[in-house]
Amino acid sequence: MKNAFHVKTLSLGGAIAALYVVLTLVAQAFGLASGAIQVRLSEALTILPCFTAAAVPGLTVGCVLANLLTGCAMWDVVFGSLATLLGAVGTRLLRKKPLIAWIPPVASNAIIVPIVLQKVYEVPDAWWYLALTVGAGEVIACGILGLMLYKALNKVPRLFEGA
């Protein structure tokens, strides 16, 4: 029984990673996945740690793969994925309070991604401006779409049971 738990958890984490990559590629096709103004549809998945701990590594691995596949610089892969990891951990810690659990990914990305944009991609805009634009995209993805996803998934009993 214990092995079944690990297999289900690993499978769920892998599925979340794959979904993160696919949604990022869809957003990339529409020019939304990177840059100073970005709305990654995949960031809506950062609400999933409210349901399962498997989402934390799943989101992180998904972000690493998505950043590699969309041609991000290596420092962006590292620090962008770190922002996703920190956000996912924060969401997991706030899992009992879903109305505010979407805030950690917004905060971590709004703080870290502007630094990456300035240092790695030499975007000349001020940090505070980039924090506002990245933060706004994160509010749309995590706050609006993420909460919609939470409400939809919360209606499916036992979806994440045992994972």
The CATH code of the domain that includes 29 is 1.10.1760
In a domain, 16, yes or no: yes
- Do 114 and 134 touch, CB atoms closer than 8 A? yes
The model's pLDDT over 40-95, given as tens digits with 9 standing for 90+, comes to 899 999 999 999 999 999 999 999 999 999 999 999 999 999 999 999 999 999 99
**Total domains in the fold of the chain:** 1
Q: 35 falls in which pLDDT band (50, 70, 90)?
A: low
In a domain, 163, yes or no: no
Distance between CA atoms of residues 102 and 59, nearest Å: 14
User: Quick one: DSSP state of residue 158?
Assistant: T
The two tokens of residue 43 are 């960031």
Distance between CA atoms of residues 144 and 47, nearest Å: 11
In a domain, 72, yes or no: yes
Residue 1 C-beta-side C-alpha neighbours within 13 Å? 1
In a domain, 64, yes or no: yes
Range of the domain at 93: 2-154
The model's pLDDT over 127-153, given as tens digits with 9 standing for 90+, comes to 999 999 999 999 999 999 999 999 999
In a domain, 160, yes or no: no
- Name the residue with higher pLDDT: 92 or 158: 92
In a domain, 78, yes or no: yes
